[in-house]
Amino acid sequence: RFGIARRFPIGPVLAITPFNFPLNLVLHKVAPAIAVGNTVVLKPAPQTPLTSRLLAEVMAEAGLPAGALNVVHCDVALAEKLVRDERVAMVTFTGSAKVGWHIKNIAGKKKVALELGGNGAVIVAPDADVAFAAARCVRGGVVYGGQYCIGVQRIYVHRDVYERFEQELLARLRACRTGNPLEEGVDVGPVINEEAAKRIESWIQEAVAGGARVLAGGKRHGAVIEPTVLTNTRPDMKVECEEIFGPVMTLTRVDDLDEAVRLAAASRYGLQGGFFTNDLRRAFRALEEWDVGGLMINDVPIYRIDNMPFGGWKDSGFGREGTRYAMESMTDIKFLVVNYG
């Protein structure tokens, strides 16, 4: 007997996307689905509706058959109807954990892929390049206004290098300019709207009321949150245990790296993490205890290229994006056996 395994398209894919990367995160779903022969119903975020319309126009001009990509702007009630529709073979969603798990609950028998964000942790070991680690943490914590599911939120620094790291981090953070991101030299722009900024501000204030201390930033100006570092935080504070989705980081001193890994891993999220160390043996061991979809050694969690397997553990969802991995999830196997004996 001779066997052949072939992958076939599964059928219409419903893609529900967030506002923070209105082209890239859309393409992470649309491109693999189209590549393997599925059609797509795309529901973009209501805050960023135009990019998806322009993408559909470009793809139509390039020769994509009519009906292969359908952009639907709709309210929550209609979106839920789409999720439940038996004609949809798969739902792929990027967004909040609350919405994602609700989608899974109502999706029925269809395939579901969820990318639900996180509260990215970074560990800095005594042998790390402290200045480089601080520079990358600032970049990872404030880029795109902190509206990044793999942004730096929690930093655990070994006591031997804590003081030096804190000085480097704060100096670089205070040098960041806030304002209109279209202006030259501005590092941190507004979050998506003032309502989101007020929520972030309230989480900072709640942490301070609970004993946390502001080392830098902490204030809101309209929809702009100053790049912020908090210390003396606790794991049960929202700034640590939830996804803040803003330019806010917590800084914690640890006595040893085993403690740092335990603290980093003690989260209901598990998307990506960062570990600054030159001890590869320790780095490999960390991945055994730290349940994250990706661990970046000598870098921060924001590192991502489009062909990497990308997705999380625990409340960060399940399934993987990244071109070939998404293509596999959007197909299924038929196995052919030929008896030639």
Could you tell me which of 152, 250, 175 has the C-alpha nearest to residue 210? 250
**Helix axes 24-35 and 50-61, enclosed angle (nearest 10):** 40
Residues of the chain with pLDDT under 70: none
Both tokens of 224, joined, read 């702009």
Q: Is 61 a catalytic residue?
A: no
The continuous run of DSSP H or E covering 195 comes out as helix 194-209
- pLDDT given for residue 289 in this prediction: 95
Q: How far apart are CA 95 and CA 217, in angstroms?
A: 27
**Cα 227–Cα 228–Cα 231 angle in degrees, nearest 5:** 160
Question: What phi and psi values does residue 66 have, to the nearest 5 degrees?
Answer: -60, 135
- pLDDT given for residue 32 in this prediction: 98
Residue 35 near residue 63, CB atoms below 8 Å: no
Question: What phi and psi values does residue 237 have, to the nearest 5 degrees?
Answer: -75, 145
Catalytic residue among 149, 201, 243, 321: 149
Q: Is 240 a catalytic residue?
A: no
Burial pattern 240-273, b for ≥16 Cβ within 10 A else e, equals bbbbbbbbbbbbbbbeebeebbebbbebebbbbb
Task: Give the model confidence (pLDDT) of 127-184 as tens digits.
Answer: 999 999 999 999 999 999 999 999 999 999 999 999 999 999 999 999 999 999 899 9
Q: How far apart are CA 200 and CA 206, in angstroms?
A: 10
Question: CB within 8 A of 77, min separation 6: which ones?
Answer: none
Q: How far apart are CA 94 and CA 312, in angstroms?
A: 11
Catalytic residue among 115, 168, 240, 321: 115
